[in-house]
Amino acid sequence: MIKKKHKKRKEHSNRIGWREWVAFPDLNVDSIKAKIDTGARTSSLHAYDIQIDEGSNLVNFKIHPVQRSAKGEIRATAKLIDERSIKSSNGGLSIRPIIMTRIKIGNKLFPIELSLINRDLMGFRLLLGRSALKNHYLVDSGASFLIPQNNMKGSKP
């Protein structure tokens, strides 16, 4: 009988759980709970009262960063980079505005694309898809909140 040598799994310093606290400094969002979803390509942020100014290519919108709460409304403005047809989890297609902004996860700050959509009926205000995490993190689907929060501005809602 031949014994197989198993490689010891190296702990990856860039592991992220399926739920994490993140921030969007350019949108004045100090803390928002994200669901990490590798099945989704595009990331989606809960937004409402979305208004596109065609002349300036800016998007004005409001955010409720706290799950299942209308408290703490944040008004934000970002540059519109695209409008895309995106398939939702139920299979429906919708045209959504796409913005580019910076996300802060722990002590890492990097740019990501976000689609803006009303996520009131969804469990999380933010869905982080695989394209946002590519080259930054490996997802540990069995763990939550692996990123230390001491680098986040403010506190969790």
Q: How confident is the model at residue 61 (pLDDT cuts 50, 70, 90)?
A: very high
3-21: string of b/e by CB count within 10 Å (b at 16+)? Answer: eeeeeeeeeeeeebbbebb
Give tens-digit pLDDT for 115-142. 998 877 677 999 999 999 888 899 999 9
Instruction: Give the CATH number for residue 101.
Output: 2.40.70.10
- Per-residue pLDDT at 63: 93
Average pLDDT over the chain reads 84
Neighbouring CB atoms inside 10 A of 129's CB total 21
Q: How confident is the model at residue 9 (pLDDT cuts 50, 70, 90)?
A: very low
Q: How many domains does the chain have?
A: 1
* pTM for the structure as a whole: 0.82
The answer to whether residue 145 is domain-embedded is no
The answer to whether residue 155 is domain-embedded is no
pLDDT for 46 beyond 50:
yes
